[in-house]
């Protein structure tokens, strides 16, 4: 299981996420904003209000939307590889 340690808004629906294993991944969430809870996130102004929720170890929005850290890890494009031995 992965944990998001840092989140940075990049633009449009993209975020740069740092994970517990030291890897950094850029994630484009545009194709993943389906369903009622994610509908408000299609407004870029609202999308960029994302924040890291340490209790959940992932990114969240005020309307209750969140994304699984494992899902974010899987769909992310590697910027920096893991620093831990696997």
**Alpha carbons 60 and 50: distance in angstroms, whole number:** 6
- Rounded distance between C-alpha atoms, residue 57 and residue 5, angstroms: 7
Residue 34 phi, psi dihedral angles, 5° rounding: -105, 145
| Predicted model pTM | 0.90
Q: What integer best gives the mean pLDDT of the chain? A: 94
44-65: pLDDT as tens digits: 999 999 999 999 999 999 999 9
Where do the H-state alpha helices sit in 1-86? 44-47, 69-75
Q: Tell me, what's the pLDDT at 81?
A: 86
The answer to whether the beta carbons of residues 18 and 78 sit under 8 Å apart is: no
Domain 4-80 has CATH 3.30.2020.10: yes
Percent of the chain with pLDDT over 70: 97
Query: Taking a C-beta distance cutoff of 8 angstroms, is the pair 1, 20 a contact?
Result: no
Q: Where are the domains of the chain?
A: 4-80
Q: How confident is the model at residue 84 (pLDDT cuts 50, 70, 90)?
A: low
């Amino acid at each position: 299981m992965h944990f998001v340690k840092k989140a940075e808004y990049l633009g449009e629906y993209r975020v740069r996420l740092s994970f517990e294993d030291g890897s950094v991944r850029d994630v484009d969430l545009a194709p993943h904003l389906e369903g009622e809870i994610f509908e408000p996130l299609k407004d870029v102004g609202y999308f960029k209000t994302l924040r890291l929720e340490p209790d959940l170890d992932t990114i969240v929005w005020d309307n209750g939307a969140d994304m699984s850290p494992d899902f974010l890890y899987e769909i992310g494009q590697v910027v920096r590889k893991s620093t831990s031995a696997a």
